[in-house]
């Protein structure tokens, strides 16, 4: 099976072309195999490129544990760059069907016809408990909750996928806390967890424990969710630089919509036996 591996902020993905949905027969199991870092290629997720009836292309995302994800910010930037630089869709505005609806990616193309940056309209966030899949809560905004006898002040929202924000200015929390919060009974379908440090109102740092992937170097939707939550709490502006372990993003809120701008790069290509 032919593949291309890409990364956005160190969040790495294996890309496979399956336009007609007739190539991959057991994509969830295949994802677990190829994403394994010892027995496969190694990645945070598998991305499948398919035809779409409502957009230029359709993006299927499967986490390294074989679970599906509706949306991934780092993956969609890679996806747009892949489509353009491989000559599949030669436009500087590409529509992409995802599990969270159609997203528009704006490509910044240099004189060598290469994509330097990708800016994606990530849509509107939601703080509704029914969207975040909260258990018996209408919302969770800056609320202290007790999980495993430890108290956390949490804010949860849907940014394509569920995210929970935990302010970590004094480094009192770690990825172990992220793992605990992810599987709390508060969340019917688990949650991604973002530990956020506020440098100033235009600069924040985010570390993410991803549902289905664990600790990663970065999470695009997590960066977007973190800015939205902090802006809601009056702790940051509507536009900020987001620093992750894998690099930087610019995230901004315009008329209720969230826009994310960042890089994406190719790593390698080859053939994998499955």
Contact status, residue 227 vs residue 242, Cβ threshold 8 Å: yes
What's residue 273's pLDDT? 87
What's residue 72's pLDDT? 95
68 is in an annotated binding site: no
Which residue among 35, 78, 219, 223 is the active-site one?
A: 219
The matching CATH number, chosen from 3.10.310.10, 3.30.360.10, 3.30.70.260, 3.30.920.30, for 2-121+263-271 is 3.10.310.10
The helix or strand, by DSSP H or E, that contains position 83, with its residue range, turns out to be helix 73-85
Contact status, residue 64 vs residue 31, Cβ threshold 8 Å: yes
205 is in an annotated binding site: no
42 is in an annotated binding site: no
210 is in an annotated binding site: yes
* Integer CA distances (angstroms), 79 to 28, 126, 248, 261, in order: 19, 25, 18, 14
Give 226's contacts (C-beta < 8 A, 6+ positions apart): 163, 165, 194, 196, 204, 206, 242
What's residue 23's pLDDT? 67
What's residue 24's pLDDT? 74
Helices and strands in the chain, H and E counts? 5, 18
72 is catalytic: yes
Distance CA 215, CA 65 (A): 13
Kindly list the domain boundaries of the chain, sorted by start residue. 2-121+263-271, 140-255
User: What CATH class has 140-255?
Assistant: alpha beta
pTM of structure: 0.93
Tell me the torsion sign for CA atoms 207, 210, 216, 219.
Answer: negative
As to burial, measured by CB atoms within 10 angstroms (0-12 exposed, 13-18 middle, 19+ buried), residue 251 is: buried
Mean pLDDT by 10 residues, the chain (274 residues): 96 91 82 96 97 97 95 97 98 97 98 98 97 96 97 98 97 97 96 98 98 92 98 98 98 98 98 88
2-121+263-271 and 140-255, same CATH topology: yes
262 is in an annotated binding site: no
Contact status, residue 262 vs residue 118, Cβ threshold 8 Å: yes
Closest CA to 75 of 122, 159, 6, 28: 6
189 is in an annotated binding site: no
User: By three-state DSSP, how is residue 119 classified?
Assistant: strand
Distance CA 69, CA 75 (A): 11
268 is catalytic: no
User: By three-state DSSP, how is residue 2 classified?
Assistant: strand
Contact status, residue 259 vs residue 220, Cβ threshold 8 Å: no
Which residue among 72, 78, 223, 224 is the active-site one?
A: 72
Distance CA 256, CA 72 (A): 19
């Amino acid at each position: 099976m032919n593949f291309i591996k890409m990364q956005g902020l160190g969040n790495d993905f294996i890309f496979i072309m399956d336009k007609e949905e007739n190539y991959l027969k057991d994509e969830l199991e295949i994802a677990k195999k190829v994403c394994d870092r010892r027995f496969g290629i190694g990645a945070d997720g598998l991305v499948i490129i398919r035809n779409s009836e409502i957009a230029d292309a359709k993006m299927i995302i499967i986490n390294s544990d074989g679970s599906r994800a509706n949306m991934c910010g780092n993956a969609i930037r890679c996806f747009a760059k892949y489509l353009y630089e491989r000559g599949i869709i030669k436009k500087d505005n590409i529509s992409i069907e995802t599990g969270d609806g159609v997203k528009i990616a704006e490509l910044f193309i240099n004189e060598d016809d290469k994509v330097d940056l990708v800016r994606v309209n990530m849509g509107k966030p939601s703080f509704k408990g029914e969207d975040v899949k909260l258990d018996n809560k209408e919302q969770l905004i800056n609320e202290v909750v007790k999980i495993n006898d430890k108290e956390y002040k949490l804010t949860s929202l849907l940014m394509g996928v569920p995210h929970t924000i935990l302010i970590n200015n004094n480094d009192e929390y770690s990825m172990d806390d992220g793992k605990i919060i992810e599987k709390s009974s508060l969340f019917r379908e688990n949650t991604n967890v973002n530990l956020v440090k506020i440098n100033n109102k235009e600069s924040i740092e985010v570390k993410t424990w991803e549902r289905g992937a664990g600790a990663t170097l970065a999470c695009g939707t997590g960066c977007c969710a973190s800015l939205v939550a902090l802006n809601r709490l009056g702790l940051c502006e509507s536009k900020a630089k987001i620093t992750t372990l894998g690099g930087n993003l610019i995230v901004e809120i315009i008329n209720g919509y969230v826009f994310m701008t960042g890089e994406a790069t190719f790593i390698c290509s080859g053939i994998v036996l499955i």
